[in-house]
Amino acid sequence: MKLGFELTLEQTQKLVMTPQLRQAIQILQFNNQELLEYIDTQIEINPLLEIDFEGGLYESLKDKDNNQDEIDWKEYLGEYDDISYRNFSYKNNDDINYENFVSTKTSLKEHLMFQLNLSLFKEEHKRIGRLIIENIDKNGYLITDIDEFQRSLDVDRKDVENVLKIIQTFDPVGVGARNIKECLTIQLKANKIDDPIVYKIVENHLEDIAKISYLKYLKS
């Protein structure tokens, strides 16, 4: 009997705290004075930024608000003043927009690349990570030896190993393993399994399990 194992990619809805989202949450907590100070700091740090206030410059955001006509937000938002989820309804088939039914399937490599960009910040490490991901097959296994990465990228082997360890923490758990033993070991650690007997079975007796040879241990 051949022992088979593969990783599957499932789509789930979850909030990913990207750097942009963290920054947005931080800015939303500022008052007028703090926001002006934050803008001034960013302009000093990045000389390419410019302030462009429509209708002229204002000493404070409060002054700008006082010079603007009051907006009737209720009239502006209309039927969309309720931010809760609501189903769309259609009067007839002619009103149906079929683009609403179009869905895209994310590949395993695209899923890993997305996580890579959120996890690594040095371009050198991203370069190593991209090459590693490109050499992961559809079942989630790494099909190229680390030495090959080291030679082709002309980097230290330790850097390749460290980036690989980070990728092996990505979703789905166990991706980037070089064989089924390593894959199962990664998953055991991710699930905080510390029983040494389980690790011993994975390391030494997977073939026996595949051949149902464990029966001989029960009989003895």
Say which CATH class 108-219 falls into. Answer: mainly alpha
- Cis link prior to 172 (omega < 30° from 0)? yes
> What's the CA gap between 93 and 139, in Å, rounded?
42
pLDDT of residue 209: 74
pLDDT of residue 145: 93
pLDDT of residue 103: 54
| Statement: residue 135 has pLDDT above 80 | yes
DSSP 179: S
- The pLDDT tens digits of the residues spanning 183-219 come to 999 999 999 999 999 999 889 888 777 776 555 555 5
- The pLDDT tens digits of the residues spanning 53-86 come to 554 444 444 554 555 555 555 554 554 444 444 4
The upper half-sphere exposure of residue 41, i.e. CA atoms within 13 Å in the direction of its Cβ, equals 6
In the chain, CATH 1.10.10.1330 covers 108-219
Strand positions, DSSP E, 51-165: none
